[in-house]
Structure formats: C-alpha cells, structure tokens
Amino acid sequence: MGITMSHLKEMFRERQYKLTAQRQIVLQAFLDHQDEHLSAEDVHNILRNQSSEIGLATVYRTLELLSDLGVLQKMNFGDGRSRYEINEASTTRHHHHHLICLACGKVKEFEDDLLETLENAVARKSNFKIVDHQLKFYGYCQECQEK
Amino acid sequence: MGITMSHLKEMFRERQYKLTAQRQIVLQAFLDHQDEHLSAEDVHNILRNQSSEIGLATVYRTLELLSDLGVLQKMNFGDGRSRYEINEASTTRHHHHHLICLACGKVKEFEDDLLETLENAVARKSNFKIVDHQLKFYGYCQECQEK
DNA sequence: GTTGATGCAAAACTTTTGCAACACG
DNA sequence: CGTGTTGCAAAAGTTTTGCATCAAC
C-alpha cells in the first residue's frame, strides 16, 4: 500500500501548504510511472505531453517539497541529474534497491528486507538515529555480459 | 593496504597512459586526505594551496580516468556535486559505507564486511554480474539528536 | 483580501569540450 | 619527434532565484 492522492491532501492541510493543481499532477505523474526513477525533465515532459502545462522551475520546487515531506526519495545514478521515486519507506517497511549496469546504465530493481538487522547494528554502534538506507549494486546485466 | 603511487605508475605503464605530474598530484591529494570525499573543486583548491598549479578541467579529466581505472570511486551525497574517494575495493575486500546526517549533512564512515552474502544472493537471483556495491544510511548524528 | 505559489527569464553552478601549446615516452 | 595531455575559455546542462502575476484558502 503506497501513498495516495488523499494522503497528500491530508499532509498538505496539516502543514498548511496550498494544494495547487501543479502539486497534484506532479505526484500523479509518479503514481502513473511506478518504479521509473523520473528526473525533473522527465516529469516536465510527461506533464506537457498530457497537456498539463507546468513550469520547469515549479517542477523542481515541487520535487524538493515532496522530498522534504518524505513522499519522494531523491537519488542519483551517476547520469548527471537527480532522479526521484515514490518513497515506499514512508508508508511501509518494504525496501527495494537498485542494480546499476556499468555498461549500458540500465537500472533494475531488487526487492529486499534483509537489511533491517544490519541497520539496527549500525545504529547501535554509531550513535546515529537511522531513518532510512539506500543500497546500490554495480555490475553487468545479463545482456551486456553476453556481448 | 591501499593503493600507492607505485601501483599507479605500474598501472599507467601497462596501459600506456602518460605519467604526468598532474595525475600524480591528484592521486597524492587523495592519499593525503584519506576518508574525506573530495569534490573536483576540493582537489583543485588543495593543489593550488600547496602551489601545485593545475587546471580545473584537468582535475575533472583525471578524476574520470582514475575512476575508470577503479582507483577512485565516484559518489554522490546529494550536495549537487560528485565526490570521490580511494576505492579500497580495488586492492582489498574491505568495504566501508556512509552514514549521512539529514540535519547537518555530515558524512561518517562505517566499517562493514557483512554484505558479501547478500551480494551473492542478489547476483544469483538477478543474473547480474555484480562487481561492487554502495550502501548509505540516512539519519541524525548524535550532536543533531541532542538539539 | 493575504499570503504563498507559479512562470518566466536570468543567474548560478557543475561538468564537458574545442583547440593551440606543451611534454612524456 | 609524435601523440597524448594540459590549460584556457567557451559551451553545455542542470538547478536555483528574483520578481511580477496569479490563485488557494
């Protein structure tokens, strides 16, 4: 069970942010493109293509807002721009991680819940209060291995 | 046992790269600043401050070269620039990971060798040939917790 | 009505690139 | 000496910002 538009409305009311059309369609773009790691420009293009006009600066501002709220998670796959995806950690404890192909750059998802115990161990030893983690594997995807 | 300047010279000879003064002082900067996550500009400043003149473009080109060789590892902590550190994985199997404070942005290192088994499991299930991994924990450092 | 949000264009940054001069092997 | 490397300045790309206009509450 991920986040929904109603969740967003509630969060915004609580914090007295204005619920604008732009903010809703940005979240909707992520709901329509689950597990796709969209960049700011991706979101801008998606919205323009469905005739939902929005300024690129507003996209950036909204992505930052949604990240601060924990709705989105900002990530970096080394392609020179930030990418975002819905932060499942905000509603469930269901984590997934990323396999990044060093040859073609493709990013594949990987399900995992095995890091809980490690996280607890790290928290105890380091005196950090840990709230999230992010794990990336680098390697070569099957297709690139065959070449 | 990490990489040394002799290692670098040998690697360069093998691959017929030229061993320029600039390439040596860039590596030296990392040897002099272990576990510091330097950005291109950091390296540029460090070298300028010790009167080792070098162009910023050359720093970028050298960082890319050393990353391709596996000597450095490129990373991103969300501050809008790439950061690099000596890639211990190239000489030993001794990994370390990062604890990033969401309040003050400070990055702390964390020792770990526990991910080997997970890496193997992931490799088997995903058909990826995994060569490296990177793990980040997000949370609040002790100082920021006390505020 | 107020106040925060948007859109545009300009600005700020980081990173890349073209090209003449240079220096390693 | 030849070819790869450097330095500079310009270009490219992403992200941020100032400000007038607009719209949510």
Q: Say which CATH number the domain at A15 has.
A: 1.10.10.10
Q: Residue B28's closest CA among B57, B8, B58? A: B8
**What was the pLDDT predicted at B92?**
63
CATH number, residue B131? 3.30.1490.190
Spacing of B105 CA from D18 C1' in Å: 27
In this structure, the answer to whether residues A103 and A140 fall within a common structural domain is yes
Distance from C-alpha of A108 to C-alpha of B92, rounded to nearest angstrom: 27
pLDDT band at B125 (very low <50, low <70, confident <90, very high): confident
With an 8 Å Cβ cutoff, is B104 touching chain A? no
* B23 lies in the same domain as B63: yes
Is B78 in the same domain as B113?
no
| One domain for residues B33 and B87 | yes
For residues B115 and B59, membership in a common domain is answered with no
Asked if A99 and B133 come within 8 Å (Cβ–Cβ), the reply is no
Same domain for B38 and B5, yes or no, is yes
The tens place of each residue's pLDDT in chain A, 147 residues long, gives 689 999 999 999 999 999 999 999 999 999 999 989 999 999 999 999 999 999 999 999 999 999 999 999 999 999 999 999 999 876 665 678 899 998 888 899 887 767 777 888 888 888 899 988 899 999 999 999 987
Residue B17 touches chain A, beta carbons under 8 Å: no
Whether residues A35 and A88 share a domain: the answer is: yes
* Average pLDDT over every residue of B71-93: 88
Is pLDDT above 70 for B66? Answer: yes
**End-of-domain residue from the set B74, B92, B110:** B92
Q: For CA atoms A3, A111, B110, A75, give the dihedral sign.
A: negative
Judging contacts by C-beta atoms under 8 Å, the chain A residues touching residue B83 are none
Helix axes A56-68, A21-32, angle to 10 degrees: 70
**Nucleotides of D strand lying within 7 Å of any protein CB atom:** 4-10, 13-18, 23-25
Q: CA of B70 vs C1' of C5, distance in Å?
A: 46
Domain check: are A51 and A104 in the same one? no
Q: Which residues does chain B have within 8 Å of residue A40's beta carbon, measured at their own beta carbons?
A: none
Contact between chains at B134 and A138 (C-beta distance less than 8 A):
yes
pLDDT at A112: 72
DSSP calls for A80-136: SSEEEEE-GGGT-S-EEEEEEETTT--EEEEEE-TTHHHHHHHHHHH--EEEEEEEE
For position A90, what pLDDT does the model report? 67
Q: What domain range includes position B97? A: 93-147
- The continuous run of DSSP H or E covering B74 comes out as strand B72-76
Tell me which H or E stretch contains B30: helix B21-32
What's the pLDDT score for residue A122? 86
What's the number of domains chain A is made of? 2
Does residue B12 carry a pLDDT above 80?
yes
* Mutation site for A-interface testing, chosen from B68, B108, B122, B141 by largest number of A Cβ within 10 Å: B122
